[in-house]
């Protein structure tokens, strides 16, 4: 028996429901339906109206229709593979119900001779006579059939009838959960309850009603749940009291004098925020978000020096070995000579690795650069006080909390990201962290000139590339796929590499995802050392590696990429003092959206502005490849369509925090909407 307030019913495995055996359970789990709660968010796409009773003479071939008839004759042939045929009639004519692979006993049970039954199914014709083949909807009680039946996106193996029966069972047993919203919030949704909202969501007449009170209330529930989980994690991290870090920014001032450029106002402001956090008793857990080329790395390295000055060690983790080495070299060239720096990677020889590990443990190393291998069990820091994670480690909420815990209570954490995220999503994605933004670009950086070019104008592009090579510059040439495909008409890196090799012999390199990590790093190193002039690549170069001599990027099939991804790719050039150029290649048959994307990119170098426009064009589910770990997968809420709800959620979470409201009130909400282990020690 289900308790009236028992949310546990919704967290049961779907196999606990009546009518779901091993086979059906397996099919549903393939569609990521694991718990009863998951069923609620697979919404009906349309409905089939079986409510109207048609006379036989009014039937239309090819349509699903409902009839009320008398069973008058059985025809059970003894010849194998012939169907069973049951003749029925009403006052206007006759129709056959045809059954393949159905037992005689079943047919006699559902269609008893001389009885009146209601049947619904697709009307076909055979030899001038109406028939319905294998009807699933048959009953002597017409009220069981004469309804609007929802049509869901089903997995093969589950019939519409069975799926509707499962959904109806859940809706009938839906618990009346205690209300978690206050009266002010409820008023905005016409005081509709969670229970009634869910039921309305599955009513056939409400399909597609995204502006309704019930839909908005449910969208707001998941927004608030997401914000609340992040708020609780942030609060928990802030409760951790660390030892104070004392520093006078001596190293910082020394390095600032050494730089050949002045820090931007944004960089200075962010450094002040980070330094303030580092000196506080509460543990820092901050995201440094900046557009490509905005100078995040130097800010992170300067802040690391202040931690070293206070007597602690620093670990800098990058997504690739080549990027870790690049950060290491930058630190080496700018840091004071008395700072002990190390690089630890997969390529570090065993003897050297053991030596570095020992020196880390003895605090003979102040700062170490590397990949995720820095957090292996055998690497034990003597006094780790600061972890810096470079951009491509886009951790989810759970992973970020684990990272924070791993560093110990005295360890501050800074994450860096070069993926600008629209304001509407900041709270959703990084609500558990404090946020710092660098929007201003360094003054010595020139804006990248962006042009679009038709594919058939390739000779113009080749002439431009030859000229750039003669000036001593290097070129990225990006293609969307590795090998030629019959399914998609895209330019492949292999074909383009072969094409360019003939024009520029011994000057072209090739890079794609199927190449091993070691080989990939070797190719990138060769390009960095100018061993070849053109690097033909897939989007693997999107990660923020600095190639100061590369000042041209050519992107094939540019219309196939999202705006933000094109902007990230464009950011691979323009790292030096030279004027950089981006050429977007496209075919003549562009969609209106593709034309808009290319126009926006040509007119703007601002990643934050581009991400906002990208979301408007592409929608929430598509922008930035939102399958990335750490980006919240909302079921109903859309940051563009429901911007007002995200703003409302932000205000509500601040009210809950300021008024110190007991989180227990929201237990059902949190347990349902975020089933991660992280909430077990929160509520």
Q: What is the pTM of this model?
A: 0.70
Position 347 confidence tier, pLDDT thresholds 50, 70, 90: confident
- How confident is the model at residue 407, as a pLDDT? 65
Tens-digit pLDDT profile for residues 439-478? 887 776 778 899 888 888 899 999 999 999 999 899 999 9
Pairing of strands 434-438, 550-555: unpaired
438 within 8 A of 289, measured Cβ to Cβ = yes
| The pair of three-digit structure tokens given for residue 429, joined into one six-digit string | 């994605």
625 within 8 A of 562, measured Cβ to Cβ = yes
Rounded-to-integer distance, Cα 625 and Cα 542, Å: 13
Residues 6+ apart with CB under 8 A from 198: 40, 171, 174, 218
**Which secondary-structure segment (H or E) carries 672?**
helix 667-673
Rounded-to-integer distance, Cα 34 and Cα 10, Å: 11
**HEC assignment per residue over 385-406:** EEEEECCCCCCCHHHHHHHHHH
Ordered alpha helix ranges (H), 366-457: 397-406, 423-430
Pairing of strands 93-99, 129-133: parallel
- How confident is the model at residue 289, as a pLDDT? 85
CATH superfamily of 449-604: P-loop containing nucleotide triphosphate hydrolases (3.40.50.300)
Out of 15-24, 367-376, 465-474, 669-678, pick the least confident. 669-678
**Partner residues linked to 314 by β-bridges:** 367, 386
Rounded-to-integer distance, Cα 638 and Cα 427, Å: 13
Does domain 51-146 correspond to CATH entry 2.40.50.140? Answer: yes
532 secondary structure, DSSP code? -
Tens-digit pLDDT profile for residues 175-233? 989 899 999 999 999 999 999 999 999 999 998 898 999 999 999 999 999 888 888 87
Position 400 confidence tier, pLDDT thresholds 50, 70, 90: low
Residue 618 has pLDDT above 90, yes or no: no
CA angle 346, 349, 354 (to 5 degrees): 95
- How confident is the model at residue 619, as a pLDDT? 53
10 Å Cβ neighbour count for 670? 23
Q: How far is CA 353 from the centre of its chain?
A: 36
Residue 680 has pLDDT above 80, yes or no: no
Of 616 and 586, more confident: 586
Encode 364-400: b = buried (16+ Cβ within 10 Å), e = exposed: ebbbbbbbebbeeeebebeebbbbbbbbbbbebbbeb
Encode 598-613: b = buried (16+ Cβ within 10 Å), e = exposed: bebbeebbbbbbbbbb
Rounded-to-integer distance, Cα 115 and Cα 17, Å: 33
Q: How far is CA 99 from the centre of its chain?
A: 46
Of 502 and 377, more confident: 502
DSSP 86-125: EEEEETTEEEEEEESS--HHHHHHHS-TT-EEEEEEEEEE
Give domain limits for the chain: 1-45+160-176, 51-146, 250-438, 449-604
- How confident is the model at residue 460, as a pLDDT? 92
**Which secondary-structure segment (H or E) carries 436?**
strand 434-438
Encode 99-114: b = buried (16+ Cβ within 10 Å), e = exposed: beeeeeeebeebbeee
Answer yes or no: same fold for 250-438 and 449-604.
yes
508 within 8 A of 531, measured Cβ to Cβ = no
Residue 27 has pLDDT above 70, yes or no: yes
65 secondary structure, DSSP code? E
Query: Taking the alpha carbons of 377, 379, 384, 388 in that order, is the dihedral positive or negative?
Result: negative
| The pair of three-digit structure tokens given for residue 625, joined into one six-digit string | 């490849």
287 within 8 A of 415, measured Cβ to Cβ = yes
Query: Taking the alpha carbons of 548, 550, 555, 556 in that order, is the dihedral positive or negative?
Result: negative
What dotted CATH number matches 250-438?
Answer: 3.40.50.300
The CA-atom distances, in angstroms, between 461 and each of 230, 231, 500, 555, 573 are 48, 51, 12, 11, 17
- How confident is the model at residue 593, as a pLDDT? 76
Residue 265 has pLDDT above 50, yes or no: yes
Residues 6+ apart with CB under 8 A from 317: 324, 370, 371, 372, 374, 375, 387, 388, 389, 390, 393
DSSP 341-354: EEEE-TTS-HHHHH
319 within 8 A of 393, measured Cβ to Cβ = yes
Which range of 10-14, 375-379, 393-397, 488-492 scores highest in mean pLDDT? It is 10-14
34 within 8 A of 45, measured Cβ to Cβ = no
């Amino acid at each position: 028996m289900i308790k009236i307030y028992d949310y546990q019913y919704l967290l049961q495995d779907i196999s606990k429901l009546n009518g779901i055996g091993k086979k059906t359970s397996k099919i549903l789990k393939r569609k990521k339906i694991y718990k009863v709660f998951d069923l609620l968010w697979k919404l009906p796409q349309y409905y089939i109206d079986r409510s109207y009773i048609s006379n036989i003479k009014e039937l239309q071939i090819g349509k699903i229709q409902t009839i009320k008839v008398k069973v008058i004759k059985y025809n059970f042939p003894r010849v194998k593979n012939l169907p069973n045929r049951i003749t029925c009639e009403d006052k206007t004519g006759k129709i056959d119900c045809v059954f393949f692979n159905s037992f005689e006993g079943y047919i006699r049970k559902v269609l008893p001779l001389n009885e009146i039954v209601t049947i619904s199914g697709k009307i076909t014709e055979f030899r001038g006579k109406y028939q319905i083949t294998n009807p699933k909807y048959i009953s002597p009680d017409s009220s069981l059939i004469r309804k609007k039946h929802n049509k869901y996106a089903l997995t093969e193996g589950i019939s519409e009838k069975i799926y509707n029966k499962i959904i109806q069972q859940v809706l009938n047993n839906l618990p009346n959960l205690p209300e978690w919203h206050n009266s002010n919030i409820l008023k905005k949704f016409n005081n509709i309850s969670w229970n009634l909202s869910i039921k309305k969501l599955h009513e056939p007449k409400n399909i597609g009603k995204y502006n309704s009170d019930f839909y908005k209330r449910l969208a707001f529930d998941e927004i608030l749940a997401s914000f609340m989980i992040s708020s609780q994690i942030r609060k928990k991290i802030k409760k951790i009291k660390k030892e104070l870090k004392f520093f006078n920014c001596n190293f910082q001032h020394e390095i600032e004098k050494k730089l050949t450029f002045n820090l931007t106002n944004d960089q200075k402001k962010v450094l002040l925020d980070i330094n303030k956090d580092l000196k506080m008793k509460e543990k820092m857990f901050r995201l440094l978000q900046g557009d490509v080329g905005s100078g995040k790395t130097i800010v992170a390295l300067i802040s690391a020096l202040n931690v070293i000055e206070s007597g602690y060690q620093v670990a800098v983790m990058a997504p690739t070995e080549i990027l870790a080495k690049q950060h290491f070299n930058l630190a080496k060239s700018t840091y004071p000579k008395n700072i002990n720096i190390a690089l630890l990677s997969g390529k570090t020889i065993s003897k050297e690795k053991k030596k570095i590990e020992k020196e880390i443990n003895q605090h003979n190393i102040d700062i170490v650069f590397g990949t995720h291998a820095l957090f292996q069990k055998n690497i034990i820091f003597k006094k780790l006080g600061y972890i810096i994670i470079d951009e491509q480690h886009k951790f989810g909420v759970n992973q970020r909390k684990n990272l924070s815990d791993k560093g110990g209570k005295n360890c501050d954490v800074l994450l860096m990201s070069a993926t600008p995220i629209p304001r509407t999503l900041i709270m959703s994605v990084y609500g558990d962290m404090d946020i710092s933004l660098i929007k201003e670009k360094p003054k010595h950086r020139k804006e990248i000139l962006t042009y679009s070019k038709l594919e058939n104008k390739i000779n113009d592009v080749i002439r431009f590339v030859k000229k750039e090579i003669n000036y001593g510059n290097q070129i990225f040439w990006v293609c969307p796929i590795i090998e030629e495909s019959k399914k998609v008409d895209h330019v492949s890196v292999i074909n383009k590499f072969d094409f360019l090799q003939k024009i520029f012999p011994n000057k072209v390199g090739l890079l794609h995802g199927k190449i091993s990590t070691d080989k990939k790093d070797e190719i990138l190193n060769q390009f960095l050392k100018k061993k070849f002039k053109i690097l033909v690549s897939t989007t693997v170069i999107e990660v923020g590696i600095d190639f100061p001599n590369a000042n041209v990027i050519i992107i094939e099939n540019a219309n196939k990429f999202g705006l933000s991804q094109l902007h990230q790719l464009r950011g691979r050039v323009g790292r030096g003092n030279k004027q950089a150029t981006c050429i977007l290649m496209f075919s003549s048959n562009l969609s209106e959206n593709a034309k808009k994307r290319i126009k926006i990119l040509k007119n703007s170098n601002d990643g934050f502005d581009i991400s906002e426009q990208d979301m408007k064009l592409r929608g929430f589910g598509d922008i930035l490849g939102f399958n990335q770990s750490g980006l919240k997968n909302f079921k109903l809420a859309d940051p563009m369509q429901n911007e007002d709800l995200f703003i409302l959620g932000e205000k509500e979470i601040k009210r809950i925090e300021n008024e110190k409201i007991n989180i227990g009130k929201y237990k059902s909400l949190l347990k349902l909407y975020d089933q991660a282990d992280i909430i077990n020690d929160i509520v």
